[in-house]
Amino acid sequence: MKDDNMKGMNMKDSDDKYQNMSNMKMDGKDHAMGNMKMDHSNHDMGNMNMNGSDHDMGNMNMDHSSHDMGNMNMDHGGHDMGSMDMSGGGMMMMHGGHMMNMGNLKHKFWGSFALMIPILIMSPMMGMRLPFQFFFKGSDWVVAILGTILFFYGGKPFFSGAKGEIEAKKPAMMSLISMGITVAYVYSIYSVINNNLTHSGMMVSNFFWELSTLIVIMLLGHWIEMNTIMNAGSAVDKLSNLLPNTASVKQADGQFKAVSLDQLQTGAIVLVKAGEKIPADGVITAGNGKVNESLVTGESRSIQKTVNDKVIGGSTNDDGSLQFKVTGTGDSGYLSKVKNLVSSAQNSKSKNQNLADRVSGYLFYASLSIAVVAWIIWSLINGVSYATTTAVTVLIIACPHALGLAIPLVVSRTTSLAATNGLLIRNRDALEGTKKLKFALMDKTGTLTQGQFKVNLVKSLTDAISDDDALKLIASVEQTSSHPLASGILSAARAKGLKLANADNVKQITGAGMEATIDGKPYQVVSGKYLTEHQIQFDQQQFDTVASQGNTVSYLVQGNQALAIVAEGDQIKPDSDKMVQYLNENGIQPVMLTGDNAQTAQKVAKTLGIAKVEANLKPEDKQKLVTKYQQSGAVMFIGDGVNDAPSLAKANLGVAIGSGTDVAIDSADVVLVNSDPKDVIALLKLARASESKMVENLWWGAGYNIVALPLAAGILAFIGITLSPMAGAVLMSLSTVIVAINAMTLHVEK
């Protein structure tokens, strides 16, 4: 199951078994699910568990998609919102089990920097007095006091982080830093006592210079790291610009008054005129018009909206005048959820991040072992003072500041680039395995095709009704649905000026279509497969002829008689062929999975160059095929969100295209905002480039220790080559600069 980082549906597949809607459990509070329509979807949602709060699912429509969502779990109690908290008193970020605050870290850096200045002026560097330094009687004690304050004040974040790592028995970056500064501090205090109190006869150099610069450099590095990630997150803050500054709210006297967006409250009635942006999520209470949600959900066309339909804040009312009741503002709105999603993704632990922690752990043990061995050997050769200097050098040079930055900088750069290019990364764990992908399973309607169906044929199969009567009946059954097939039928009925009849007892037929009662008579609108399964007679030759022309075919049925046939055609998206070509060229086999008939699917597949097609599928069939293909290699699933949610959640990499629903976001690893198949190419290129940068940075951040640690231990001291603590700190700083520059060179290949 993919990580669940925001409110909404968490589609958890546990056993691939689908049950009915019994055992539905809805624990929690404030679940607003008014006017939820599930027509055409044929969802089988056994054992649904909705445990959480503030779920706004009003007017959710899942039509004709044949969803089977067994064992769906909606438990918000275990949500991991990543390691970032950008509310209140500054950004929070996890390090070694310790929550670090952006504001506190900034203050600690400047406080430590202020303490470092007098230490640098009064403390020799490796026993050498520099021209700008001055000393006086008792200056060693002043330095010791300042160094002690700096050690405990500036070192606190590292000690807290190290404690978490040690308790977890996973020493890593914070443990390395803590070990280095602790050794330097203890030895420096020993030096001051020896030189000023015990007077053993041998002057011992202190390391307060090295200690202070190391703490300040480390604090600065983590401040830069957190600031970089926070700035990367600001890329998605541009989504906020989609919202207008004010909203026209209905007052007690019935008049509308403009109020600032921060004063807008749930339950308010808002007026949106033609050409205006919709200021918040809500449900239409009056009026109708076409709403353009492309910048918000990636839906490529304007959608006809009327009473009881849901609107999303940030979309645009293209025509007509709408009044809607606000259901979500601020943090509860869709745009806020998207921003939280990206922020969570930036700070969630990835496999490579865990690899960096493991490398730090190896470094911890390696440096400690080398330092101990070096101390023992050099104690026998040159005495304790020289041996301790050598051991401290080893521990300083092993401090993994660059290693700590190696992955986060690449991740923040990747997420920033992705967000500005319409790629919303939800689960970067899945993204990092793109080089292992072997199959790309993809839905047809809405993914490879426009999802804009046009009725090409309506023909009555009986003398009892005319073609227009048949269209009227079909449209009447479909009128509560917003599925593309239903939209095409309703558009055709409107074009002919047909007045729809009232439909009662509207129900979905699992895996087939819809049924309703009109004027006391039951009707069904179903697929050809349904007719075959229920032994209802129809003209197979006619079906094959119409379907082979690229049409999706449905039938109007009453009892055991097919009354009419309706055929709808869809258009292939302009860049679908480029995506398929790229997949084929890069060793990823494209496979089309569709609930449509085989003839239509084969025509689309042939046009695009897809060799493998699976047709007449239900959602559970798609998910089972994902599992089947995973036995032969990693699978990417590309779908339009709602009707492919189980497969999106099951795949190694789930990519939702052209969908802005909570279901799509919670189920997919990546959401393509612009609904363009070509963005899949950009996604794969960016993911592979990002993974390469991570590996490069791991080498830059830790690889230099292969040479530096032996040198610091004095392995070449016999020929006069040694490495001082300051030189070690300089090398560490240089490696940090290198990984930062390397991360910033990452770009989206066009």
Plot region of 460 (φ>0 → left; ψ -120 to 50 → alpha; else → beta): beta
The tokens describing 403, both together, are: 């290693």
The 3-state DSSP class for residue 522 equals: strand
Strand partners, 630: none
E runs forming strands in 295-426: 302-305, 310-311, 316-317, 322-328, 423-425
E runs forming strands in 236-331: 246-250, 256-260, 269-272, 281-287, 289-292, 302-305, 310-311, 316-317, 322-328
The residues, ordered by sequence, that sit 6+ positions from 217 with a Cβ below 8 Å of its Cβ are: 401, 729, 732, 733
Give the other-Cβ count within 10 Å of 395's Cβ.
27
The 3-state DSSP class for residue 49 equals: strand
CA dist 77 and 381 (Å) reads 60
AA letter at 99: M
CA dist 716 and 728 (Å) reads 15
Q: How wide is the angle at C-alpha 264 spanned by C-alphas 263 and 269, nearest 5°?
A: 145
Closest CA to 601 of 580, 572, 575: 572
Q: How wide is the angle at C-alpha 300 spanned by C-alphas 295 and 303, nearest 5°?
A: 90
Between strands 504-509 and 513-518, the pairing is: antiparallel
Burial class (CB in 10 A: 0-12, 13-18, 19+), 521: exposed
Q: Which of 56, 281, 309, 443 is catalytic?
A: 443
Active site residue 443: yes
Please, are residues 49 and 72 in contact by the beta-carbon 8 Å criterion? yes
Please list, residue by residue across 702-717, b when 16 or more beta carbons sit within 10 angstroms of its beta carbon and e when fewer do. bbbbeebbebbbbbeb
Alpha-carbon torsion angle 219, 222, 228, 233, nearest 10: -120
The 3-state DSSP class for residue 244 equals: coil
Please, are residues 439 and 632 in contact by the beta-carbon 8 Å criterion? yes
Please list, residue by residue across 537-553, b when 16 or more beta carbons sit within 10 angstroms of its beta carbon and e when fewer do. ebeeeebeebbeebbbb
List helix spans (H) across 138-239.
Answer: 139-167, 173-193, 208-233
CA dist 90 and 104 (Å) reads 8
CA dist 60 and 41 (Å) reads 11
Please, are residues 372 and 387 in contact by the beta-carbon 8 Å criterion? no
Between strands 521-527 and 423-425, the pairing is: unpaired
Strand partners, 558: 561
Active-site residues: which are they? 443
